[in-house]
Structures are given as C-alpha cells and as structure tokens.
Structure 1
C-alpha cells in the first residue's frame, strides 16, 4: 500500500456534511434494525480486515500485531456486537418514578439521536479510538464524519477505502487531511464533536464548537501517576507497570507517566523492573518485534530532548534508553531522583521514559498529585484498604485503578472519562451511546387534569398560594 494519503478537497467538506444531514433528516438512521445492521458491519470490518489493518499500522509506526489485535480490533468487534445486542433495551423510553399526582402526566424520557456528529481521532490507537466513538454514534442513530490522523497515513488511507465497503456512505464518511482541512471542518456546525487527543488542540476544538453551542466529548490524557505502597510486592508492581508502559512504546493516554515510590523501596522496585524487562525483551527492546516505534521524527526528538535535559539520574543498564533515530526506536528509560522542576514533569511524556520520584509518606505522594492537573487515571499498587480509601477520597482523576495498569480499559461496562485537564464526556458501550443521545423529556397532560390545574390561573386566590406554595412550609431537618 502506498503511503500517499489523499486529502479531501476543502471545497467538498461542507457538501459532505450537508449530505449526511440530509440523510439524518430522512429518519433512516433511527430504525433499530438499520442501526444493528451497521454495528454488525463495523464488527465485520474489524474481523475481515485484520491483515490489512495490522500491515498499515506496522508501516506507520511498527506497531506490534499483538497490540493491534488485543487492544484495538478485538475490542471493536466485542463492543460493536454487545452494543447491537443491547440496543433494543438502551433505546426504550424511560418512565421515571414521580409523585402520585404527576403519574397521569405520563412523564417520559425519549432517547433521541443528536444528529450529524464529528469524530476526530488520534494516531496512537487509531482503530479503537475511531471506531469506538463511531459505535456510539451508530447506536444513538446519528450520522457521522470520521477525521482520522494524518500522522498515520497508511491507516487513514485504508480507513477511507474500507468504510464504503462496509457502511452506508449516505450516513458515514471519512474526511482525510491536516490542519487546513480540520480547520474547515471545525468552521461548520455539528450536533456533537467527539475529540481524542491533546489539551492544546482540544482547546481549539472546544472554542470552535462554542461558536455553534455544540456539545463536545474531549478524551485527553495528562500525566497519570503511579503510587506504590511500601507493603506491596515490588517485583509484581514493576512487572505490571512496565507492561503498561511498554504498550505502544508508552504512546497512550493512560500510560503510567511517573512513579511515586517510598524512598527506601526505590532500589528494590528498580530491580523488579530489570527482572521484568529481561523477561519481556531478552535481547533488549531496540530490535524486538514485540515493541513499537515512535510515531514520527518530531515526537522522537521531543522525547530525546526531555530525557537529555533531565537532571535526574539515568538508571542505565537495560534502562539506558538506547535509541535508533533512523528507525525511531527508543528503548525504555528509567530516571530516578527526579524533582518537581525536572524536564520529565513539564508535560505528558507519551513515550517510554519513566521518572521515579522518591517520597517519604503517603501524605507527600497525595500532595504531589494534587499540586498538578487532574490525570486521566491514577494507578496505585496497594492492598491496604486505608491507603485505597485515602487515594479515592483525597485525589481527583478520570479513573483510579488499583494493582495493575492499562487493564481497566478492558471493562466496557465502566464509564471512561477524564476530569479537568484530562477531558470530559463518558464513553464505552452504553456510555458511548449516551454521549451521542439527547435525553428528550416529555409530559402529556390529560384533559382530566384541568380541575387540578385550575388553581394556577389568575386571579390568584389565597387557596392557590396555600396549595401551590405549600413546599415553603415543609419542615427542613437540622
């Protein structure tokens, strides 16, 4: 497959949006059977095109086949099928429990599709982070434009070729391009925008959306900390943290970003990392096919500069961070003795560098976390209920995962979201459906209620004040 990515002509972008809006207005996307058929087709795309997708991602940044299948394709199939199977229940109108005098009003919540939506996805996990929001949009009954990243040209070209083979192109289209094309897309009005990426671009997306009062889901990232309790098994903690850090060479929004470790346990934890590394990559990661490359030269140079500028102590040995610029290969590096002003704490690392910050107490670890923007996830390795309780109650993050990394993404029944700088808006299965759904409230007041409603009409009588303002006399507990 050629790496040449053909960009969508800018002048065609408004018409593509308008064509999808026309389709939405016909009502075709609202049918339960139609939605299920499109969801099954998403699953078929992921199943049938494994080889083509893995090949494209290997060409783009040497992403290991196992990682593509485990973390992306398998999840797309499972979540598309689960959504199709659950959809009949999800779309049913809800009838909330109300006081007896309101029951005849038939209070109802209808699940209405928001309309024509925009999904902007990143380069690091382009399959799942494009198709998972699409599963939500289809489930909700929306039409959608997909804008994949130009940083993975083989994948984005393939997606544009595959989508028309599987999905109804009157409702779902791919727009390829870079900044000019995305700028044009964002000038248009959408009924929802789902953006996955970094905070800088998220602010551009949110500002553009605000001009049209368009709601957004922003799945961002941040510096996800790892707290290691002194009583936990250091060898097991190291193994599970390293596995999470090595996924996609650390290029994932939930990658462990830095470790807060008790000062007297630092050496033991590093030994655990060395043992796990030798087991994962007996000949080192530089040439190992089970370890990915950095996506492009810009990010390779960015990571190199972060590591080279660090004033911390490079652990060396197997964690020396050996590099091959020609192939954008970057082995994992551990840096100990990192302080709060170090280069490695300036921004989300988004790569295979892991700073160690020694702390002398849980209080110090919590204070360090709370002094920084809220992360997408907080990891903690502890079996102490009191430590867990403190971290739950005294910190903020999109999610909190105990005693493993990355694995919480496998639980589709949990809402996945950031908070503050790590984003907002929930996704996964029903939460993805709800992201693209408007909860449309309704009442239907019968004629027979006129007698009960008569007090609301002027001229207002004393009896009306007593009846309709009665809540003002309700007792309030101390």
Structure 2
C-alpha cells in the first residue's frame, strides 16, 4: 500500500484540528489549484479517459473536464457568500435574542469514487469538501486505473497534500479506509457496496452520502416530436459513456400502438449518429472491462430476450464494444428487466394505456432518475406527483445534472443525500445553530417555584397570545 491509511487519517485530523482548512484563503487557494489541473492538463486527462473507457474527446471534455471547471468556478465565485452565517428570526420564547446558522466543516472526510465518470465523480465531491473547509481523502476507482493514476499524480503536484490525499488501490485499501473514523463519507457506486459503506459508517455514527443507481425509466407518449425525443434519448443513453451512466434511460415504456414508430425513429437517428457499423464508431465509448462485457452479454443471451432484439446486438469482444441495442417487449422476469443495465442495451416495455406506465414505475424501487416525453399537461403533473425518483426530466433525459441550481442525489434504493452547486457545500457542512442573548429580559416564569400564574403566563407566550400575556402579568 503506497499510503498508510491509518497514518494518513491521523495526519488529516491533526491538520484539520490546526484550523488551517477553515480559512477562506486556504479554501480559495485549493480551488484555484484544482481549476489549474482541469485547465492545464486537459490533454493528459483526456488521454487517461480514452485509455480507460475509450471516451471520445468530445464526451471527455463536455461531461468531465468542463463540469469540473464549472464546479470550481462556481465555488470560487460563491464561496464568500456560502460561508456567511445565515441570520434567522427568533420568537417570543427567547425574546430579546438573535440567531444565526453557521456552516462549519464536518472535519476529516472520505470520498470513494467510481469508474464511469472517474474525473467528475472524484473531483466534484473533493471540490465540495474543500469548499466547506474539510480535509479529505480521495479513493478513486481502481477499475479506471489510468485515470486513478493521473489524478493521484496531479493532485499530489498541485494540492496541499497535508490536507488533500489520494489513496489508490482496490478492495484491500477501501476496506482499510472504512475501518477509520471519518466525519463524513461520500460514496458513488452500486447499492451492494453502498450497504457495506453504510454499515462501516454506522460503527462511528458517521453521516454518509450515497450516490447509487437503479433502473431509470422513460415514458414515451405519442403526442410528441418523435425525432427530437429519439435524439435526446439516444444522447442520454448511448452518447453518455455507452449507457455506463447512473442516470441514463434503463428502459422505455410506451403504448403497444406507438412502439413500432418509436423503434423506427431510434433506428434512423442511431444510424445518423453512429453509422451503419456502430461497433466501429469512434464516437461510442467501449465497455470498461471484460467482466462488464460478459455481464452485458449475459443479459443479451438470456433466451427470454434473444429473439426480441429489434436494433443492434452486434458485439466486438476484442475491443469491448457493443452496438446500441434495443429489445422490444422484454419480459418482466427477464434478467435485463431485473438488473441495472449500465450499458448500451435498452429494453422497451409496451402498455395498453400510457398512464399504466406510471403504475409500473411506482411498483418498482425508486430510481435515481425518471423521464417522461409528453405534451399532455395532466400526464406531466401526474408523473411528477406520483413518481418518486432522485430527479425527474420532462421531455429531456440526464440534462438535469447540468443545472447547479438543482440538487443531484438518490432516494431509497438509489441513494441518500445530494450535491451540486450550493448543495455540494451544504453536503459537507454541519449547519450549526447559534442563539445570542444578553443579560436583560429575564422572565421569572421559567424558574421554580412553579405557580399557576407562571404556567398561565408561559402558555400565553408559547401560543403567541399577547392579551393573555398581559393578563398573566397583571394577575387577572
């Protein structure tokens, strides 16, 4: 192990206790250093992402590098305001008084990242931890080894390594990290490991943010611009890391009478984007490794869906590529409908009435995202009201992540806690309430000996009954 986990955690606690990371100037210096990494090492980062995932430069820049730059710039612009105590009103109960909510760092934090967006999903939480004044350990995913190595090198070169550390490695290193006492843990990944993280955190009563996944549904109504909808679905499914994205559409629900039109539109736009031989398209990312390629192949080879492929299905095991694949009427008991796909496969489920799709979604675990394409105002309203998901897109997929004013996070099986923009700062801050009083305004009714008159007075105060307060004071 290159870094002794126990020693690293102890060093970080000493640094945090020194108060250095609480200073506005230190936070700004580290955010500027992070921004330099994202600006001056763009080529190096793109090369690492291409090595790990076969990401096209377009995707690598837009979905990872630009997003990290944006998070840094927003934090630098807003940090002074975020750090200011929030003044709040007080009541008659504490009159005369004033109060505020102080955002203080949790302390020593741990970020365990994942492999599908290894730059963004590592650095954005680190940016959040730094903005809030914490020390932090980043544990990048060993699955994206080139990116992990690049981040370790760059953060070691630019950041204050006494307060920001990178621990590379696999299960052994992650397990060792989870044995330590942290003040906040941020984990991105699957629900199986999420439960392990939560159990480990429980030993120290450590608060946890879990960014997990789930089967994100997409309802497609018939009263829409089908070409635009198809393009947006394709962009969110295959244009985002070949479907290896936690918020990409996992399955589509449409009516039996509209399914053929939808398939035709998807087929036409897919050919427009990736050509007649999409397996060899340089615009599509590869599957991360052979294990995940075999997992996806198993979903395709399931006898319950193998005869229902209407688009794609081609595979190139040597280059870890799978063509965009659409399965029509995948049975509910098929493997593909009972596992998070996390790849370029897209089942379509047909229903008699489009509103039946909402019932189908609500019968399952709560997803990280849910989408609906419709011009029907009532369907939009019902979808938003009834579907519980980490986030919702109406006539759009995945794009809600681009808005820093919206929190990003899961609910239920898809996770807990959220971040992005100010929500990131809040995620790594304890909101400490502070009440200020002087030595005037003493009320004897709060102290023994207790009397009926005192109780009458307190009841009037707590109910806001001004007349009752006056009567109690006068002894009426």
TM-score scaled by length of structure 1 = 0.94
SS of the residue corresponding to residue 371 of structure 2 reads strand
Tell me whether 1:205 sits opposite 2:197 in the alignment. yes
Q: What aligned pairs does 1:50-199 form with structure 2 within 5 A after superposition?
A: 50-99=42-91, 102=94, 104-199=96-191
Q: Which one of the candidate residues 289, 300, 317 is aligned to 2:293?
A: 300
**C-alpha contact (below 8 Å) 1:119/1:144 kept by paired residues:** yes
Deviations 1:353-385 (A, max 9, x none): 000100111331111101110001101101221
Give the C-alpha shift of residue 102 in structure 1.
Answer: 3.4
Deviations 1:93-114 (A, max 9, x none): 1111222563532212111000
SS of the residue corresponding to residue 250 of structure 2 reads strand
Give the C-alpha shift of residue 474 in structure 1.
Answer: 7.9
Tell me whether 1:225 sits opposite 2:212 in the alignment. no
SS of the residue corresponding to residue 441 of structure 2 reads helix
Deviations 1:275-320 (A, max 9, x none): 1111101242211111100001110000000111052365657x22
Consecutive aligned runs of 4 or more in structure 1 exceeding 4 Å deviation:
313-317, 471-475
TM-score scaled by length of structure 2 = 0.95
Give the C-alpha shift of residue 443 in structure 1.
Answer: 1.2
Give the direction of change, closer, same or farther, for the CA distance of 1:145–1:473 in structure 2 (3 Å limit).
Answer: closer
Deviations 1:259-278 (A, max 9, x none): 00111000000110111111
Give the C-alpha shift of residue 408 in structure 1.
Answer: 1.2
Q: Which one of the candidate residues 446, 449, 455 is aligned to 2:441?
A: 449
Runs of 5+ unmatched residues, structure 2:
466-476
Q: Which one of the candidate residues 2, 11, 14 is aligned to 1:8?
A: 2
**C-alpha contact (below 8 Å) 1:111/1:437 kept by paired residues:** yes
Give the direction of change, closer, same or farther, for the CA distance of 1:472–1:98 in structure 2 (3 Å limit).
Answer: closer
Tell me whether 1:349 sits opposite 2:341 in the alignment. yes
**C-alpha contact (below 8 Å) 2:90/2:97 kept by paired residues:** no
SS of the residue corresponding to residue 393 of structure 2 reads strand
Aligned twin of 2:450: 460
**C-alpha contact (below 8 Å) 1:314/1:333 kept by paired residues:** no
**C-alpha contact (below 8 Å) 2:217/2:249 kept by paired residues:** yes
Residue correspondences, number: 464
SS of the residue corresponding to residue 286 of structure 1 reads helix
**C-alpha contact (below 8 Å) 1:310/1:343 kept by paired residues:** no
SS of the residue corresponding to residue 173 of structure 1 reads strand
RMSD: 1.5
How far, CA to CA, are the matches of 1:308 and 1:23 in structure 2? Answer: 54
Give the direction of change, closer, same or farther, for the CA distance of 1:100–1:407 in structure 2 (3 Å limit).
Answer: same
Give the C-alpha shift of residue 412 in structure 1.
Answer: 1.0
How far, CA to CA, are the matches of 2:332 and 2:276 in structure 1? Answer: 34
Q: Which one of the candidate residues 357, 361, 386 is aligned to 1:369?
A: 361
SS of the residue corresponding to residue 252 of structure 2 reads strand
Give the C-alpha shift of residue 234 in structure 1.
Answer: 2.2
SS of the residue corresponding to residue 298 of structure 2 reads helix
Aligned twin of 2:274: 281
How far, CA to CA, are the matches of 1:131 and 1:256 in structure 2? Answer: 25
Q: What aligned pairs does 1:350-429 form with structure 2 within 5 A after superposition?
A: 350-429=342-421
**C-alpha contact (below 8 Å) 1:119/1:133 kept by paired residues:** yes
Give the C-alpha shift of residue 396 in structure 1.
Answer: 0.7
Aligned twin of 1:264: 257
Deviations 1:3-26 (A, max 9, x none): xxxx535xx110001111111111
